[in-house]
Structure 1
Amino acid sequence: MDSVSLLRRAAAPRVLLDAAVVAHGSARLTREEIAVQRRLRDPLAEGWNPIGHATLRSSDDQTVAAVTALRAAIARADVPSSAYDGWGVLAAPRFLGRSKLVVVLDRFKAEGVWGVTPHLIPHFALHAQAGTLSLVLGGHGPNLGIGGGLYSASEGVLSALTWLASGVAPGVWLVLTGWSPEYQPDLNGEPRAVTHCEALALALTPTSDDCASPIKLRIVEAETARPPFPPTPEVLTARLESFVAPSVASPRLIGHEVHGGRGYPRPHLPGEPRRDGRFATIGTDASGRLLIELAAPRTSPLGETS
């Protein structure tokens, strides 16, 4: 082995977990668009079960956006529902219920239990989103809510890749949701600024040599801790779309900026992310020691090769 090969091996990052992204879909909805999607009863795709009449009636806005993202992912995959038998569902919302809880708590304080419908309460629990998505998908695999805070997306990726590595499920639907900019409700529950609910649905399977050059998602151990920044549906969607559509500009993460003076930092996207070969770092965990990376296929519209 020559010295160049030895240097390359020494410089190679330590990959802890990885998975293949076989399909993805996204949604970016206003509250008015969410109201329209909430009333849809059509199946996610042809051959799937229709959505029950009351399934989304009391769901949080992020759950409705997640269903919209699932529609897009399933349409992109274009495979029958039987292909997802036994798949798990992991939902990683960011601050689930914030758009309604301020009103509910204020009404409870003023009117007691008679002022609040009990149907809302279960839909604000962390695992409610995953359970609802499992019902919509007609799934029989495990479902779980992950995180709930600022770093819910990185925690969701870690959980999904762990499930695949340990054989908990043959595949995983990982759904990431949140508001952009962060939802800050007034006393009536309305946002203080214009905001959109974003969702990204990822169909993940274990990586294998016979896979047809998929987009890969992986977790890498950093040599030294980096300034932490949370991945978001916006960042992940922009990077994924840049792999499948060369006209889409690639994002760049430029530090944190506080929205509304409330201390909810999030990355912005005016350029190109930090890159390591064909891999792009699109976030870290809360410690800055685990890097979340996406890789283009071996042959991609960007002209990257492994």
Structure 2
Amino acid sequence: MNTTASQPRASETCRTLECEVVAYSALRFTPDDVNALRKKSKELPGDLGNSLLRHTDEQTLAALATVKDAIQQFPQATSEYRDWGVVCSSRYLGRTAFAQSLVKFAAEGPWNVSVQVVPNRSLHSPASMVGLALGCHGPCVGVGGGLDGETDAWITATSLLDNPSVAGMWMIFCGWEPDELIDTEGDALRESRCTALAVALQPLTASSGDARMRIRYDTAAPTDLAVPAKKTALSRFDALLSGTTKPLVAMLGGGLRVEWDALPIPMTSTIPLSIGTNEEKKKAA
């Protein structure tokens, strides 16, 4: 079902928000690959412990792995994240876990439902976990939550970065590709991959390069956006990475648009952009 999301039009006098892109990474995981991360705490930021990762949502695990890859690819960006913040846009986080919990609750009552579901499968969980892993003391918030929520991440991350006390922002988009389809008991009805895109943003300085992102008012930009969106942030990033689209442009509603000119050059690459399915791995072998 396609609908439209209406937003008030921004004022023509609003100023442009601009920042520098200092690191990025995008990863795709099969369900088996992303769940295997629960036992690999030492390979993820912060080494939070396998006992904690056991209860963590798959989208949060993907976000942690993607942030780690971005840090390893761009070690020159920074090694201190105390004054950084995190904004994460997830899509239907915890849907499977909550469906399974409701079935257990109906069958056996509250004593058979884990208390870990709510704190680990709620909207702010991915941003909070990334912030905890990196030692961030800046704002760590979850935004969106549905098929039209990515717009909130672009605007929130760049707006918070406009605060002088915030040294940088991690802007993260995570979800399932295609969108996860489950039955009433929470079992998957089709194959999907858990995806995450992590982008590190910092305020512009005199030494900033060409890798910049800006949000500005555009009289030609639409006020209403189609829901679900025709393109996700990850698909737009793929086009920018491959050189198919330059610059990356996305309409945010309310007469606003985001533009991303270029990508910083990574120093190293540790994890492939796309992690294939088990069947694809067998064919490759």
TM-score when normalising by structure 2: 0.78
1:280 aligns with 2:276: no
Q: What's the CA shift string for 1:206-239, capped at 9, x where partnerless?
A: 12332133x2222122213436254524224314
1:223 aligns with 2:223: no
1:35 aligns with 2:35: yes
Which of 98, 103, 126 is equivalent to 2:100?
A: 103
Q: What's the CA shift string for 1:88-136, capped at 9, x where partnerless?
A: 1111111111122211112212222012111112112211111111122
> Residues of 1 paired with 2:201 and 2:56: CA distance?
25
- Unpaired stretches in structure 1, ≥5 consecutive residues: 1-12, 251-271, 273-277, 300-306
Report what 2:113 is aligned to. Answer: 116
Deviation, structure 1 residue 43: 4.5
TM-score when normalising by structure 1: 0.73
Report what 1:25 is aligned to. Answer: 25
Cα distance, 1:212–1:70 mapped onto 2, change above 3 Å: same
Runs of 4+ off more than 6 Å: none
Report what 2:4 is aligned to. Answer: none
Report what 2:269 is aligned to. Answer: none
> Residues of 1 paired with 2:233 and 2:81: CA distance?
23
Report what 1:161 is aligned to. Answer: 158
Aligned length: 249
Is the contact between residue 20 and residue 209 of structure 2 (CA under 8 Å) also seen in structure 1? no
1:200 aligns with 2:197: yes
- 1:107-186 equivalences under 5 Å are 107-186=104-183
Deviation, structure 1 residue 81: 6.3
> Residues of 1 paired with 2:38 and 2:56: CA distance?
8
Deviation, structure 1 residue 31: 0.7
Report what 1:259 is aligned to. Answer: none
**More displaced stretch, 13-22 vs 125-134:** 13-22
Cα distance, 1:28–1:140 mapped onto 2, change above 3 Å: same
**Percent of residue pairs bearing the same amino acid type:** 30
Is the contact between residue 22 and residue 264 of structure 2 (CA under 8 Å) also seen in structure 1? no
Is the contact between residue 14 and residue 217 of structure 2 (CA under 8 Å) also seen in structure 1? yes
Is the contact between residue 214 and residue 260 of structure 2 (CA under 8 Å) also seen in structure 1? yes
Report what 1:294 is aligned to. Answer: 260
> Residues of 1 paired with 2:74 and 2:116: CA distance?
34
> Residues of 1 paired with 2:106 and 2:149: CA distance?
30
Q: What's the CA shift string for 1:179-222, capped at 9, x where partnerless?
A: 11111211332222221111011110012332133x22221222
AA partner of residue 41 (structure 1): S
Deviation, structure 1 residue 33: 0.6
What secondary structure is seen at the aligned counterpart in 2 of 1:101?
Answer: helix
> Residues of 1 paired with 2:52 and 2:135: CA distance?
12
- 1:86-101 equivalences under 5 Å are 86-101=83-98
Report what 1:57 is aligned to. Answer: 54
Larger RCO (alpha carbons 8 Å, 6+ apart) = 2
What secondary structure is seen at the aligned counterpart in 2 of 1:32?
Answer: helix
> Residues of 2 paired with 1:104 and 1:165: CA distance?
40
> Residues of 1 paired with 2:104 and 2:209: CA distance?
54
- Unpaired stretches in structure 2, ≥5 consecutive residues: 1-12, 266-285
CA radius of gyration, larger in: 1
